[in-house]
């Protein structure tokens, strides 16, 4: 891993934004994304104790996705309509899969959610990573394809971490470990949450 390249980005970022994520321009951008409010709502809506009410979980999934600024509008609408049209048994399977993804066997949950999203023609990285990200913004990562490819190329790890359009738990785990290692080497002010850290990388790599 080219850690020296991280420090170059860090120096550039603080040269442009001396106050880091408290800089006025970035504060405005953070307010636009409203991630903090969505995180509070997600932590409440998807708490382990709430999974005894499957229909409430389904509605919370639709609501969280629809309010996210990180998901394309087309995907928001398709998710709302497609999930709303699922049979009761399919909805229950989706809820069980999300429970595993957040509170149980994470790999099993990931793969089961992916299977249903693919059936709905929504099997993208954004759709499978958005709800776990809001549920725990310090542990989980939102995977945006263009940003991911730029990060892997910049740090010269494309051969070790091979991005593919179809999500996989193996890549998600390996990429998460890579990003966490970068984050831990960087100034803590660059990572109020994980999406902020990848946002910092995006802003500086693409300057």
For residue 41, pLDDT beyond 80: yes
Domain end marker among 135, 159, 191: 135
- Residue 204, helix vs strand vs coil: helix
**80 and 120 inside one domain:** yes
Look at residue 161 in the predicted model and tell me its pLDDT. 94
Tell me which residue of 41, 49, 76, 74 sits closest to 62, measured CA to CA: 76
Q: How many residues does the chain have?
A: 207
Q: Answer yes or no: is pLDDT of 155 > 80.
A: yes
Same domain, 163 and 176: yes
What percent of the chain lies above the pLDDT cut of 90? 80
Cα 182 from chain centre: 17
Give the end of a domain, one of 73, 103, 135: 135
Residue with the two structure tokens 């636009």:
32
Owning domain of residue 124? 37-135
Task: Give pLDDT, residue 68.
Answer: 94
Residue 36 has pLDDT above 90, yes or no: no
Looking at residue 207, its pLDDT comes to 58
For residues 57 and 130, state if they share a domain.
Answer: yes
pLDDT band with cut points at 50, 70 and 90 for residue 47 = very high
Q: d(Cα 123, Cα 38) in Å, to the nearest integer?
A: 22
Let me know whether 102 and 120 are in one domain.
yes
What pLDDT is attached to residue 180?
Answer: 96
Mean pLDDT, residues 191-195 taken together: 89
The last residue of a domain, from among 135, 167, 182: 135
Residues 27 and 108 in one domain: no
Sheet strands (E) in the chain: none
pLDDT at 18 over 90: no
The reply to whether 28 and 78 lie within a common domain is: no
8 A C-beta contact, residue 155 and residue 5:
yes
Quick check: 202 pLDDT over 70? yes
pLDDT at residue 206 greater than cutoff 80: no
**Dihedral class, residue 78 (left if φ above 0, else alpha if ψ from -120 to 50, else beta):** alpha
Say if residues 108 and 182 touch (Cβ distance below 8 Å).
no
Q: Where does the pLDDT of residue 28 fall: very low under 50, low under 70, confident under 90, or very high at 90 and above?
A: confident
């Amino acid at each position: 891993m080219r850690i020296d390249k991280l420090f170059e980005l860090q120096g550039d970022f603080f040269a442009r934004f001396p106050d880091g994520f408290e800089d006025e321009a970035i504060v405005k951008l953070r307010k636009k994304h409203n991630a903090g409010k969505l995180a509070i709502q997600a932590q409440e809506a998807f708490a382990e104790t709430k999974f005894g009410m499957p229909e409430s979980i389904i509605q919370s999934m639709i609501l969280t996705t629809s309010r996210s600024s990180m998901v394309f509008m087309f995907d928001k609408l398709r998710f709302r309509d497609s999930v709303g049209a699922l049979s009761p048994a399919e909805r229950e399977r989706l809820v069980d899969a999300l429970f595993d993804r957040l509170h149980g066997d994470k790999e099993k949950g990931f793969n089961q959610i992916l299977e249903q999203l693919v059936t709905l023609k929504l099997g993208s990285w954004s759709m499978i990573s958005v709800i776990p990200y809001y549920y725990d913004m310090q542990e989980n990562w939102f995977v945006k394809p263009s940003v991911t490819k730029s990060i892997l190329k910049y740090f010269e790890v494309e051969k070790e971490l091979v991005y593919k359009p179809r999500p996989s738990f193996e890549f998600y785990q390996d990429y998460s470990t890579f990003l966490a290692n970068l984050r831990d080497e960087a100034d803590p002010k660059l990572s109020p949450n994980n999406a902020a850290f990848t946002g910092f990388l995006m802003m500086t790599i693409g300057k």
